[in-house]
Each structure stands twice: as C-alpha cells, then as structure tokens.
Amino acid sequence: MIVKVAIIGSIIGLILLECIIALALHFPLLSKLGPDKFHSLVIRIYMDRYRSLIQLEPEYAHYDSDLTYTLKPGVFFFSNIEFKNRFQVNSLGVRDDEDSLNLPDIIVAGDSTAMGCGVDQDETYAQIIEQRTKLKVLNAGVSSYGTVREICILDRIDTENLKYLLIHYDKNDYRENASFHNNNNTLNITDERSYDRIAKRYLIGKRYYVGKYAIFTFKYAAQRLRPYLFNDKKFFENRKLFKEQTKENDVDFFLNALISAGTTELYKVKIVVLGDAEFIPRLRQKIHLKDYPNYISNLIAVDLSNKLTEDCYYILDDHINAKGHKIIAREILKIISEGD
C-alpha cells in the first residue's frame, strides 16, 4: 500500500512538474515568479529543447558549400514563443532587400543578433541606421555565423562603395574563429549530408512527448550535480582551462579572422566592432600591441554592456528586442555623425 501511494504520488508530482514548466514556457512571465533557479531551468529547456533555430529549419535555410548554410530567398514568418517576425531575404541569402546588394555604403556583419532575430525587419539596427542616414545599409548578419563566415560572405558583395563595416561579435564566435586559426586559416565546412543529419536530429529533438520537460529536468539536474557528487577534478580543470584559453585567445582569433578570412580588401573601410565588457576592452588594448594594418589599429570598438539593460532582452530568449536595436543604432549613429 505504501509503495502504491508512493508511485501515485511520484506520478502526480511529475505531471505537476510537466504542467508547471509547460505553463512557464508558454507564459514566460510566470517563470520569473518562482526562484531564480526555476527561471534558469525554464530558459535551459527553452534553449535546448523548444526554440526554433532558423539555420536548421528547411523552410527558412538551405545548404551552402562555402558557408554551410544561408537563408532561403523569399518572404516568410519566423517565430518563437515571444516573437513572430516577417523576413524578406534577398538572393544573397541575407535578411534585406535586393537593392541593398547594389554598392552598399554600410554592411552589418554578425550572427542572429545582427540579423535581427526577434524583431521585425524595419526594427533591426541595420534598417534604423539606413532610415536615419539615408545611406544604403546591407544587413548581412546570418544566425550562428562566426567572424570567419561573416567576413567570407563579403566576397559575394560589391564593396566598392563600402564606408563602414559593422561587426557584431558574440562569445560563441570563438569556436569558429579558433578552428580557422588552428587549421592554417582554413574553414572546415560541414558537408551537405552532415548538415541535413544535424537538421533532422534538431527537428526530432524539438518534438513534444508526454513527460519531455520533467525528464529533461532530471537529466539536467544529474548532469549539473555529477561533477560535484563524484568529485570530477578533470571536469573542473577542463572548464577552467577552456575559460582561460578563451580569454587569452579570443581577440587574437577574431583579428586573425578579420585579416585572413575572405579576399575582400578592407583597408579603406572604417570597421566598428560591437561586443561586451569581457571582449571589447581587451580588443582595444590588443590592436595597439602589434604592427597591425591601419584598418585594424584604427577600428572602433563599442562596449554595449552598459547600454543594453535587462528590458532590452526577452525573458526566455537571449536575443535583443526592438528597444535594444534602437539603442545599438543610436550608438552607431553617433560614430557615423562624428566621422562625417
């Protein structure tokens, strides 16, 4: 009888956990009503098992032998729990109109943040800058691109009139930049079969089944606790080593990508790099420590950390909202006006 009650109680507990997480996913504000750890758990479930990734959705992206993938030309709506936005994609496979490919004055390079994941097309900082300056701005940001691919895609654009290159750096650019550097400045591109396999596995992982969130919770908790329970010294050493290597090399790998990736000449272009407080101060320091070309030593590095407050982001999704894009545009417009 005691065992039966315990089993029934456990089942009820799992059902309640599943329902609470499901509610928090669909009504994100609810996740903030509980403890911080619960909010963090809901974010992790959303990021790992729920949200759509545009680069792996067959409706919105397709394979590219030089860049792994680009967006599919055309018009479509891309959504997640907290947003639904219209995308207009040109023949290059980036989120902009066809006319912007014709001798742009400014190019925005970056990943999903620069692309404008989470905001409408006219709300991206690329479009705001274009509207305010009347200069032709091309938004060449593509989800999950690292610096190497962000520079390589420039080879497909006529940059004769290019005045400003805005590069939005994100810490997840590190792996691509490191791989490029450590492979003699060669980018290893995933083959089409592997890309399709990754996309298929991602789509399967998104599917819902009864108990999905509760099971993930227990797996996630076990994964987090395991190194502590078993005193896994190697785990902590590797984690510490990776953080140290990242901090030591991320700027060097970024600058190497900027100089060595692609064939586009940038010596006449003013480069503006956007990043956070961990990256930007070290970038400002390092560009003067070596004999870099003028377009590197004279680049402008903008720390967005103290500009973008909590209300510039979504509750679950880690992308910047429309308010955040306005703030970024404002900072860049200051630089352009000072340059003029």
What pLDDT, in 10s, does the model give residues 90-141?
A: 999 999 999 999 999 999 999 999 999 999 999 999 999 999 999 999 999 9
Beta bridge partners of 75: 88
The answer on 99 and 157 residing in a single domain is yes
What CATH number has the domain bearing residue 135? 3.40.50.1110
Check whether residue 209 and residue 275 sit in a common domain: no
- Phi and psi for 61 in degrees, rounded to 5? -140, 155
Residue 167 falls within a domain, yes or no? yes
Q: How many domains does the chain have?
A: 2
Whether 220 maps to a domain, the answer reads yes
Same domain for 42 and 182, yes or no, is no
Buried b (16+ CB within 10 A) or exposed e, 293-303: eebbeebbbbb
Mean pLDDT rounded to a whole number for the chain: 94
Does 116 lie in the same domain as 69? yes
Q: Are residues 119 and 225 in the same domain?
A: no
Is the per-residue pLDDT at 53 higher than 70? Answer: yes
Range of the domain at 305: 64-193+241-339
Distance CA 12, CA 19 (A): 11
Residues 178, 202: one domain? Answer: no
- Checking 227-230 for CB contacts under 8 A at 24+ apart, the result is none
Q: Name the least confident of 11-15, 160-164, 196-200, 260-264.
A: 11-15
Do 204 and 169 share a structural domain?
A: no
Tokens of 269: 């272009």
Residue 236 has pLDDT above 90, yes or no: no
Instruction: Enter the tokens of residue 159.
Output: 């940059």
For residue 257, tell me if it sits in a domain.
yes
For residue 303, what are the β-bridge partners? 275
- Whether residue 257 is predicted with pLDDT greater than 90 in this model: the reply is yes
Q: Each residue of 186-220: pLDDT tens digit? A: 999 999 999 999 999 999 999 999 999 999 999 98
Q: Are 292 and 188 members of one domain?
A: yes
- Do 216 and 122 have their domain in common? no
pLDDT on residue 192? 98
Whether residue 203 sits in one domain with residue 152: no
pLDDT (0 to 100) of residue 239:
64
Whether the pLDDT of residue 340 is over 60: the answer is: no
Picking from 48, 28, 118, the residue whose alpha carbon sits closest to that of residue 80 is 118
Tokens describing residue 272:
């503006």
In a domain, 236, yes or no: no
Q: What pLDDT, on a 0 to 100 scale, did the predictor assign at position 32?
A: 93
The answer on 248 and 185 residing in a single domain is yes
Q: Which two tokens stand for residue 18?
A: 């599943």
Task: Please indicate, yes or no, if residue 39 is contained in any of the structural domains.
Answer: yes
Let me know if residue 59 belongs to a domain: no
Query: What local confidence, expressed as pLDDT, does residue 217 receive?
Result: 94
Q: Is residue 287 part of a domain?
A: yes
* 213 and 246, same domain (yes or no): no
Evaluate if residue 235 carries a pLDDT over 70: no
**In this structure, is residue 281 part of a structural domain?**
yes
Q: What is the pLDDT of residue 34?
A: 86
Question: Which amino acid is located at 25 in the chain?
Answer: L
Structure tokens at 38: 């619960």
